[in-house]
Amino acid sequence: MRPDLLNPLFAETGSLKGVGPGLARPLDKLGLTRIRDLVYHLPERFVARRPILNLDEAGVGENIVVALTVQEHRAPAGRGPFRVLATDAAGNFVAITYFGRAAYSAKKLLPVGAKRWVAGRLDQFGQSLQIVHPDHVVEDSAELLGQMNEPVYPLSEGLTQNRLHGLVQQALGHLPDLPEWIEPGQLDRSGWPKWADAMRSAHTGSAEAARDRLAYDELLANALALMLVRAGNRNRVGQQLAGDGHLRAKLHLPFALTGAQTRSIAEIAGDMAQGAPMLRLLQGDVGAGKTAVALHAMLIAVEAGAQAAMLAPTEILARQHFATLSKMLAGTGVSIAILTGRDKGRAREATLMGLLDGSIHICVGTHAIFQETVAYRNLGLVVIDEQHRFGVGQRLMLTQKAKRTPHCLAMTATPIPRTLTLAQYGEMDVSRLDEMPPGRQPIDTRVIAIERMADVVDGIGRHIEKGGQAYWVCPMVREQETEDLAAAEARHAALAARFGDKVELVHGQLRPEAKDAAMERFVRGEALVLVATTVIEVGVDVPNATLMVIEQAERFGLAQLHQLRGRVGRGSDKSTCLLLRGEALSETGRERLALMRETQDGFRLAEEDLRLRGGGELLGTRQSGDTPFRVATFEQITRLLPVAHDDARLLMDRDGGLASPRGAAARVLLYLFERDWGVQLLRGG
């Protein structure tokens, strides 16, 4: 239960003065629904202004505050800007320029003959000086004393900087006095302020130590929560599952296991033979053979007299796994079933009965396999595919499905740099499939200018005439006036005009039934071209699809491009990935696309992605259900995470955990950052 002293921070923003339904909507778009969200909505930069006596003291491009006397209003002859001519104390002229509707308030703000203090950026238009849309216009200079170093916040439509700044200031007035959770020696060494002081300083600009302290708090909360999960898991009663190998010996896989697969299977078998439940992550690049490793793990459970369940994020992926595993299990005598939300009636009842009486050994499905109505005779192992789609809290739910906590093997095809593994999966042991099965053909990756679009479309035509299938990936769903990104709907319309009903469209805004139907048409080969957004990044396995087109590829991160490219090359035929680049290509974009041509090593690409663009994409797409890092930058993560991890371990091992005085403060920290799933593992937590 959340500590009472945090209640002021978790009050709704609607409780603040001036926040009605109209303002609540843009705040909600930014995720600013509580006081806590506002105080942690830190400025992205600061505008530093210099007060001057006259314009001769300032340079073009500088942000200034200056007293001006209004001389003349110049209304536009046509659709041009409204200009207010004014002079400084030395008689220098400057045009205060307004465009659009803002011009209506200019006469009232700046009446002829009046002296006003103006804050804004000094620019030059032709031979004249101008200030376009000044930030502030006031009668008394004292009103600008607090604006010399003004924060600039991320906004959404319907919010202004002044309005948001006012709300943040209100929210800062609600800061409670929180106990100190950082180890005293660490606090002294770093010279960090107390939490409330750091929070206020972070909104003023002179705040490097303050920002570090707030980032450290977030990293400490995450590290501590993951340690609690790990410690809680060790204290749970699991099953010692040691298979005798008789079922695994019957497997006739079409390939020999790699060294990495053999090593990972041994690590998993060692975990499952222990009394404490396994909590292990299997990282494997696209095509590295995670499914075969998972199957060996499930057969260990079945050999030991237990059942296994595999959880997939989508129904299509669940059915794909069911088909693959059924083929691999042919002749072993192992019973496998599938259970999704679509399964109804007698078939569903038969599956539920088989799970209850133990006649079904392995169950594959979506969240349906953990509904209240589903009971297992002896669930010994849970395999979670595409781990980043599920939160830690969701995974803890699995403990309720068995008398003894089942072993858990989580899998991800998203290569995670070693730098971030601790931040994302600190509660888990990690196995890596860092080599590819022999005989897998490399994917021919080419970068093509967008001007050659017609040639690419012609190439698609030749490809499908030969019986092949192709993906076409776009960065967004619809065109927007402010964006020049390709739109999936527009691209689908253009390709359908050329190829008819052989073209299907899939994106995240479609109803699940419509999305599944379109994907199944493609899987069955009824559709030959699938136009999609990144919803196909994981989970689609169509061996006949050997051509991938990624439009405006420079807009994607390396890790995402690699995942998309991994949708082809699933069969024995040679596959091609075409990266269509836009006209304006940054140096980073050029380097990213060059790396895609150069290597197909997902782990190397993930490391390079981090170097080129920081950790935002990887950390921001952490398992749904968890709060991503919103305070700590990638630079702070790499610098402060090891220290936070050591501090969390010190608290757990030396300072008595959450039962100690510092632990009580750390409990507040966990609730503050909504890592309370770590607290829930403690009895009475």
Q: Judge whether 132 and 97 are in contact, CB under 8 Å.
A: yes
pLDDT band with cut points at 50, 70 and 90 for residue 422: low
48-57, 409-418, 626-635: least confident range? 626-635
**Tokens at 410, concatenated:** 């989580």
State how far the alpha carbon of 545 is from the alpha carbons of 170, 291, 548, 561, 571, in Å: 56, 20, 8, 17, 8
Is residue 392 scored above 60 in pLDDT? no
Is residue 627 scored above 50 in pLDDT? no
pLDDT of residue 540: 67
* pLDDT tens-digit series, residues 246-290: 999 999 887 889 999 999 999 999 999 998 889 898 988 777 889
**Tokens at 511, concatenated:** 């109803």
Q: SS3 for 625?
A: coil
What gap in Å lies between CA 337 and CA 346, rounded to an integer?
14
Structural domain 248-433, CATH architecture = 3-Layer(aba) Sandwich (3.40)
Closest to 386 measured CA to CA, from 563, 616, 605, 571:
563
What gap in Å lies between CA 485 and CA 250, rounded to an integer?
52
206-220, 449-463, 553-567: least confident range? 553-567
Q: Judge whether 410 and 428 are in contact, CB under 8 Å.
A: yes
Q: What is the pTM of this model?
A: 0.68
* pLDDT tens-digit series, residues 191-229: 999 999 999 999 987 678 999 999 999 999 988 988 887
User: DSSP per residue over 470-494, as a string?
Assistant: EEEE-SBSS--TT----BHHHHHHH
What gap in Å lies between CA 194 and CA 683, rounded to an integer?
30
pLDDT band with cut points at 50, 70 and 90 for residue 480: low
Closest to 639 measured CA to CA, from 662, 666, 614:
614
Beta-ladder partners of 646: none
Task: Give me the phi and psi of 265, to 5 degrees please.
Answer: -60, -40
Q: Judge whether 3 and 674 are in contact, CB under 8 Å.
A: no
Average pLDDT value for residue range 589-608: 84
Beta-ladder partners of 580: 448, 551
Alpha-carbon torsion, ordered 496, 502, 508, 512, to 10 deg: 130
Is residue 115 scored above 70 in pLDDT? yes
Strands (DSSP E) found in 105-164: 115-125, 128-132, 136-138, 149-152
49-63, 94-108, 153-167, 381-395: least confident range? 381-395
pLDDT of residue 621: 32
pLDDT of residue 397: 61
Structural domain 46-152, CATH architecture = Beta Barrel (2.40)
Q: Which CATH superfamily is domain 444-599 in?
A: P-loop containing nucleotide triphosphate hydrolases (3.40.50.300)
Mention every residue, 6+ apart, whose C-beta is less than 8 A from residue 215. 631, 632, 633, 636, 637, 640
Strands 128-132 and 115-125: antiparallel
pLDDT of residue 393: 57
Is residue 135 scored above 90 in pLDDT? no
pLDDT of residue 319: 86
**Tokens at 496, concatenated:** 């359908």
More confident residue, 439 or 562: 562
Q: SS3 for 267?
A: helix
Q: Judge whether 285 and 603 are in contact, CB under 8 Å.
A: yes
Helices 208-235 and 634-653 cross at an angle (nearest 10°) of 50
What gap in Å lies between CA 205 and CA 607, rounded to an integer?
32
Is residue 512 scored above 80 in pLDDT? no
Strands 529-532 and 545-551: unpaired
What gap in Å lies between CA 16 and CA 174, rounded to an integer?
10
**Tokens at 512, concatenated:** 């699940």
**Tokens at 684, concatenated:** 């009475």
Share above pLDDT 70 across residues of the chain, in percent, rounded to a whole number:
89
Q: How far is CA 360 from the centre of its chain?
A: 36
Length of the chain: 685
Place of tokens 């691209």: 491
Is residue 92 scored above 80 in pLDDT? yes
Q: Where in the chain is the domain with CATH 2.40.50.140?
A: 46-152
Average pLDDT value for residue range 223-250: 86
Task: Give me the phi and psi of 62, to 5 degrees please.
Answer: -90, 145
pLDDT of residue 614: 52
Closest to 417 measured CA to CA, from 285, 281, 605, 226:
605
State how far the alpha carbon of 152 is from the alpha carbons of 49, 117, 209, 560, 631, in Å: 13, 21, 19, 30, 16
Mention every residue, 6+ apart, whose C-beta is less than 8 A from residue 119. 49, 63, 64, 65, 134, 135, 136, 137, 144, 147
pLDDT of residue 206: 65
Q: Where in the chain is the domain with CATH 3.40.50.300?
A: 248-433, 444-599
pLDDT of residue 371: 80
Which bin fits 525, alpha (ψ -120 to 50), beta or left (φ > 0)? left
Q: Would you say the C-alpha torsion 352, 356, 357, 361 has a positive or negative sign? A: positive
H or E element at residue 579? strand 576-581
Is residue 16 scored above 50 in pLDDT? yes
Average pLDDT value for residue range 301-315: 92
